[in-house]
Amino acid sequence: DGLNGLALLPRALDDPRPEVVHAAVEALRRSSAKHPEVFALGAFHRSPEVRRAMVSPPLPEGCEEVAFTLAIDPACPAVRELPCPP
């Protein structure tokens, strides 16, 4: 958590090493509870693997609406199984 750490995560999502990308996705998911704007950094990433990992259940609290916008993304079929946000 913290602005300095969050500033590094988008760059880490593009790292060629899968373990770095995985760590960045996990850090974004942990940091995004009740902060959907942080969740969106990964949820709308150009990489289908990153998008899929970001929206895999369980979703961070408060990020359901952002995740639901990816229901039509072929890379994110798990979103279609989630309950619709209110």
Radius of gyration, CA atoms only, the chain: 12
Q: Give the per-residue pLDDT at 2.
A: 65
Residue 66's H or E segment, with its range, is helix 64-68
pLDDT tens, position by position, 67-77: 999 999 999 99
Q: Give the per-residue pLDDT at 85.
A: 73
Please choose, from the candidates 24, 31, 85, 81, the residue with its C-alpha nearest in 3D space to the C-alpha of residue 49.
24
pTM of the full structure: 0.86
Residues of the chain below pLDDT 50: 1
Residues 6+ apart with CB under 8 A from 76: 48, 51, 52, 55, 70
